[in-house]
Chain A
Amino acid sequence: MKRIITILVALSAVLSMNAQGRHEIEVLMGGPVSGIFFNEGSSYAKYDYYYSSGNTLKDLYEDVKYRDSFIGMGLVYSYEVKSWLKLGIDATASIEEVTIRKGLAYKEDANNLYSQGVSHFTVMPMARIRYKDGYKAEAYGRIAAGMEFITNWGDEEQKQFAWEVVPFGLCFGKKDLHFIFEMGLGTAYMARFGISYEF
């Protein structure tokens, strides 16, 4: 319910503006590159643990999480406020597969790894800025900030601040239908691609 209210508030804020621009819907796929912004180990480190005698007590006794896979779907609505500026809302839903290496305080054997599914839902008010509009192509950037709702399957939902900066995105196509590719930094994704429709 909170999620719906958040979306509605953000949407109404965008639509209440007086500008006479066009609406745009984007459908995107993507996710973050494993572990870079989450201080998690690499998949190699997960297995090094068993063959190294250089482990510290922290290595031995604390749980460590490793991200194995992450795939997300994004739905972005925006409204053209100025020829160079679009405001809107970016909603991303994603599923993450995480391997957790349990510390020895719980179990001491070579099989103390288990996998867990984690779902993420991110809602962020967003601004998209056009850098250059060329023949059939547009270069743009994007900034967004909002909330991320995280659910470990079977556990209680957690919330955290979410942010995203896209320094470079490319949009190309004919008339109202475009293909999109963008590279970003933040909590939701690092690379996304998809299609957009303007009306």
Chain B
Amino acid sequence: MKRIIILIAAVAAMVSCDKFEDTFGPSTYESSTPLELYMLSIADDGVSVVLSELETALQTDPDGVIGKYFYTNNGLPLTADDAVWTVNREGSLLGTTIKKVTGKNAWKINYNGDFSVEGASFPTAFEITATLADSEIGSHMNWSVEFRGTRKEEDGYTCSFSNAEVPVDYKIIENTKSWGAYGYLLMTVFKDSKQIDRVLMELRGLRSSASITHIK
């Protein structure tokens, strides 16, 4: 009788443990929905492309060959207050302006053009204020980023997006050379100027661990 009771208790414990794992344990497979991928293309790809350009410009001599032919600048290095640079190189960021924020380790970047992400290219405008968290300048540094922008697509669809009032941190993912974004992205979708959806995405570093919530 004792053995039977112990056996039943052991089975019950195993079943309840499995149930606990199913309910509260980490999911073993996380997939991104199409909307998550769309928003990640703004938060992950769009902003990080601009940050890479900023880092390149920061390491460029304004009077050197690259500084003269790839950028239009006012002769000041980007680390100096009052520095203003414009990307002069053919490519997706042509015409982007970078301005040093006076007295801060931060830069304001304005982009206005057809930004192409994963094959789709539509008029996009955004303003990014990127504050450097590291003391030395290099590649793939840690940034705190505020951004807001709009994108105009076909058939009357537009969207606006921003960092939802909390700066998004761009940090290097451990053991890789790519950034992970940490923070929130707020996107509002319009059809013929009428709001049809509002979505908040939480960015938790890895692309697959981002999640979205529809806000009414």
Contact = CB atoms under 8 A, between A and B. Distances in A.
Interface of A: 49-50, 52-62, 104-105, 108-110
A56 B157 contact: yes
8 contacts: A54-B118, A54-B119, A55-B38, A56-B122, A58-B155, A60-B38, A61-B196, A108-B214
A55 B157 CA distance: 13
Contacts of B197: 61, 104-105
Contact of B34 (A58, A59, A105): A59
A34 B80 CA distance: 63
B35 A60 contact: yes
B155 A55 contact: no
B37 interface: yes
Which of A49, A52, A57 has the most B CB atoms < 10 Å from its CB?
Answer: A57
A18 B21 CA distance: 84
B185 to A, nearest CB: 15
Contacts, number: 58
A50 B35 CA distance: 10
Contacts of A105: 196-197
A109 B34 CA distance: 9
B159 interface: yes
B35 A53 contact: no
Contact of B153 (A52, A53, A58, A108): A58
Interface string B100-126: 000000000000000001111010000
B41 interface: yes
A54 B31 CA distance: 16
